[in-house]
Amino acid sequence: MNRSLSEKALLQLINRCLCEGFAIEIDGLGRFDLDLQNQVIFEPSGRVRIFLAYAEEDRSDVRKLYQELQKAGFEPWMDQEKLLPGQNWTRAIERAMELSDFVLSCFSQRSTFKHGHFQCELRHALKLAERAPLEDIFLVPVRLNDCEVPRYIARETQYLDLFPDWASGVSRLVKMMRRETIERNKRRQEPVTS
């Protein structure tokens, strides 16, 4: 019974917000809005979701990458931009990774061998990558400067450099993700044969 009351309260809140002219966006997935007949509709975002894993010391470079990805039409997720006050940040980060089309692990001389949350995010991304189809690119190591990528990753996954030419590196990254998204969509539409 409580669940039913909670669902009704949520629907009433959504309805009230929509009637007052506010759209309701679900981060990275889409938004609820009213159509011309005042019917509630859901518009999927359709944008490619990208999780940015990084160490705190690299925040300014990663924020720059975040902005470049937004300009390119992607839906990047960066904790400093997306976490809400009071939100369970550990769970929010895991969920954002799980919903992402790509995880960009941003390595630098400061982060590669540092202990902390970046390493936890990296391990979670590696577990998620194990579940992805073998043909899909999911985890993308990105070097912010001349640093070592952990052997475990470098042994099997090609990394991308954003230095010495930032614009060229971002351009290669954007092209790869667009191409990979098209290829994924083609593979998912192919009929399954036995």
Ordered per-residue pLDDT tens for the chain, 194 residues: 455 667 777 777 777 777 777 767 666 566 677 778 877 777 666 789 999 999 999 999 999 999 999 999 999 999 999 988 898 989 999 999 999 999 999 999 999 888 999 999 999 999 999 999 999 999 999 999 999 999 999 999 999 999 999 999 999 999 999 999 999 999 888 776 66
For domain 49-185, give the CATH number: 3.40.50.10140
Give the domain ranges of the chain.
Answer: 2-44, 49-185
Residue 112: CB atoms within 10 A of its CB come to 15
| Distance between CA atoms of residues 87 and 65, nearest Å | 24
